[in-house]
Homo-oligomer: A and B are copies of this chain.
Amino acid sequence: MKPIADIAKLVDIHEEDLELYGKYKAKLSPELWEKVKDRPDGKLVLVTAMNPNPAGAGKTLTTIGLSQSLNKLGKRAIAALREPSLGPCLGMKGGATGSGRAQILPADEINLHFTGDIHAITSAHNLLAAMIDNHIHHGNERRLNPKKIVWKRAMDMNDRALRNIVIGLGDGNGQTREDGFLITTASEIMAILCLSESLADLRDRLGKIIIGYDLDDKPVTPADIRAVDAMCVLLKDALKPNLVQTAEGTPVIVHGGPFANIAHGCSSVIGTRLGLKLADYVVTEAGFGADLGAEKFFNIKCRKAGLTPSAAVLVVTVRALKYNGGIPVAQLHEENLDALRAGFANVQRHVENLRSFGVPVVIALNSFHTDTEQEQSEVIALCQKLGADVALSRVWAEGSEGGIDLAEKVIQAAQSASSFTYLYEDQLPIREKIERIVTKLYRGAGVRFSKAALQTMRKAEEMGLSHFPVCMAKTPYSFSDQPDQLGAPSDFTIQVSEIRISQGAGFLVVLTGSLVTMPGLPKKPAAESVFLNEDGEVEGLA
């Protein structure tokens, strides 16, 4: 690792604009934005993927590797990534900082408390929750309906026992009512932080969160109970993007980490916009496969922030292809060209979808050691038949050297003049936005709405929020809402069970099926395998 001040110099950031957190992490000051904001933007490259297989696709890995390869080719490149959440790190998933020779550093610190952003969001979230119950306890001036509080509490931990709870038991302990905890990454504050353009914008959005309804069924906000300023105070440093480096010394902005179902699953707008002023290329990723991640990146993040993507990289793996071709996880290491061809229908649909946004697509075949040469050749041939650029990526084993072909193809793709377009315009009615996503991207036959969903839709219209984009919460494993319908299913109907209004984030969350916003720990959580070695260093996390 090089001192972060040296990394900053690579993109002309001077020490005065760095707030150091140790030698290898820094926050970028708001003054830096003021200095660079009038520069032209670099090119924005989205890394997305086919529907994920349980073993992972290598999207973060490819994002990091591609940024290293672009640098190797003499382009000034920055990767823009999400912050890992402690809950999954210590639960099922482990670290989220890439691996092999495409990692970001210092990995352990990024995976653990990092610069405290997520802790700050937890604090702001729970301050608001405490102020709500305190408001009711001390006379309830705003006439909040205790049965209609929708603002839960938050913790950055996987803790299923906190999903559904009863609070306020016992004399003097406030209103007894049902409640629950979200994992912090599912907090609307996380989505807000990631979509805010400035401190003023953050303040404005926080004030609009719907925390519940009053006895006249009118929405109540943090502004109504004087919580907004204290929340801003708690979040002021979390809003500043964090600078770290890849294993090869490429600058990386790691900032914000919203859930990819109940939220939009992209790193912060502030970080991405700043990156575009500092570099020729900003390589970023979005959560889950392209049906969710890329769709939300384009329709929510790019729309809200006025960003124009220059290219999209679709990460495919031989394993994910075979999984989508019907092979169970335990057999994914065995060569199976038929399954691979069958699974390719999934890739084809994602490519068509990405192209429908007017964005050039490059396919990255992320190499894995169990792949056979024949399998890899077959994937490349199938991609070429589709008329798509494709590159074999070996960034895990080879770092930047393994992504040169990919980087060259991305540079070429990003040269063409943009014809980027959203899937729907703001004015389209809410129902039609959802139907358009389902029929045009998922290729379903239609949408069935629950009564509750229709009611909330009407409420949102009455509140003048029908211009909001929709944020689909769907299983990532399938284009449909059934996780076992792999490949390229069609003729299905999407069931919308519920719609939630994220007025602060500025979107409507559309729930298909039930949504778990507080994960549980597995029987043997990752927490059981991490430890400090004799030198006091973390082992067993990544």
Report A136-156 CB contacts with B as 1/0, cut-off 8 Å.
Answer: 011100000000000001011
A531 contacts B by Cβ under 8 Å: yes
Contact of A419 with B by CB under 8 A: no
- Are B116 and A130 interface neighbours, CB within 8 A? no
**What residues of chain B lie closer than 8 Å to A358, measured between beta carbons?**
none
* Shortest beta-carbon distance from A172 to chain B in Å: 7
Verify A134–B538 contact, CB threshold 8 A.
Answer: no
- The residue on B at minimum CB distance from A154 is B155
A30 adjacent to chain B (CB < 8 Å): yes
Give Cα A161 to B152, complex, Å: 12
Q: Are A170 and B164 in contact (CB under 8 A)?
A: yes
Do B112 and A133 touch across chains, with their CB atoms under 8 A apart?
A: no
* Residues B131 and A160 in contact, CB atoms below 8 Å apart: no
Residues 109-142 of A, flagged 1 when their CB comes within 8 A of B and 0 if not, give 0001100100110110011011101100111000
Residues of A140-188 whose CB lies within 8 A of B: 153, 155-170, 172-175, 178-179
Given contacts A116-B116, A232-B531, A541-B233, is CB(A175)–CB(B161) below 8 Å? yes
Contact status B166-A169, CB under 8 Å: yes
The docked-state distance in angstroms from the alpha carbon of A119 to that of B175 is 27
Contact A173 B161 (CB under 8 A): yes
Asked if A201 is an interface residue, CB under 8 A from chain B, the answer is: no
Give chain B residues whose Cβ lies under 8 Å from the Cβ of A522: 138
Which residues of chain B come closer than 8 Å to A161, judged between CB atoms? Answer: 130, 133, 137, 167-168, 173-175, 179
User: CB of A528 within 8 A of chain B?
Assistant: yes
Which residues on B sit within 8 Å (CB–CB) of A199? Answer: 532, 536
Bound-state Cα–Cα, A169 to B163, Å: 8
A 16-27 to B, binary, CB cutoff 8 A, 1 in contact else 0? 000111110000
Cβ of A523 within 8 Å of any chain B Cβ, yes or no, is yes
Closest beta carbon of chain B to A30's beta carbon, Å: 7
Whether B164 and A169, one on each chain, are in contact in the complex, defined by CB atoms closer than 8 angstroms, is: yes
Determine the distance from Cα of A97 to Cα of B289 in the docked complex, in whole angstroms: 49
Given the interface contacts A113-B120, A123-B156, does A532 sit within 8 Å of B229 by beta carbon? yes
* Interface contact B157-A530, CB-CB below 8 Å: no
Q: Nearest-CB distance from A58 to chain B (Å)?
A: 26
Q: Given A20-B22, A119-B119, A120-B113, decide whether A157 and B233 contact each other with a Cβ distance below 8 A.
A: no
Which residue of chain B lies nearest to A169 when distances are taken between CB atoms in the complex? B164
The answer to whether A130 touches B159, judged by C-beta atoms less than 8 angstroms apart, is: yes
Please name the residue on chain B nearest to A20 by beta carbon. B20
A114 to chain B, nearest CB (A): 9
When the two chains form their complex, are residues A527 and B230 in contact, meaning their CB atoms are under 8 A apart?
Answer: yes
Q: Which partner residue on chain B sits nearest A175 by CB separation?
A: B161
Contact across chains for A521 and B134 when beta carbons are under 8 A apart: yes
A90 near B: Cβ within 8 Å? yes
- CB contacts under 8 Å to B, within A294-315, are none
Report chain B residues within 8 Å CB of A112: 233-234
A227 lies within 8 A of chain B by Cβ:
yes
On whether A528 and B226 interact (CB within 8 A), knowing A130-B157, A173-B164, the answer reads yes
CB–CB B174/A86 < 8 A: no
Whole-angstrom CA separation of A162 from B179 in the bound complex: 10
Q: Chain B contacts of A219 at CB under 8 A? A: none
Q: List residues of chain B with CB within 8 A of the CB of A127.
A: 90, 157, 527
Kindly identify which residue among B20, B86, B166, B168 contacts A21, using a CB–CB cutoff of 8 Å.
Answer: B20
Pick 20 A–B contacts, CB within 8 A, sort by A.
A19-B22, A113-B119, A116-B116, A126-B155, A127-B527, A130-B159, A134-B525, A137-B160, A137-B520, A138-B522, A139-B523, A155-B155, A160-B172, A164-B169, A165-B165, A166-B166, A174-B520, A230-B527, A233-B538, A236-B536
Instruction: Report A's interface with B, CB cutoff 8 A.
Output: 19-23, 30, 86, 90, 112-113, 116, 119-120, 122-123, 126-127, 129-131, 133-134, 137-139, 153, 155-170, 172-175, 178-179, 199, 203, 226-227, 229-230, 232-234, 236-237, 520-523, 525, 527-528, 530-532, 536, 538, 541
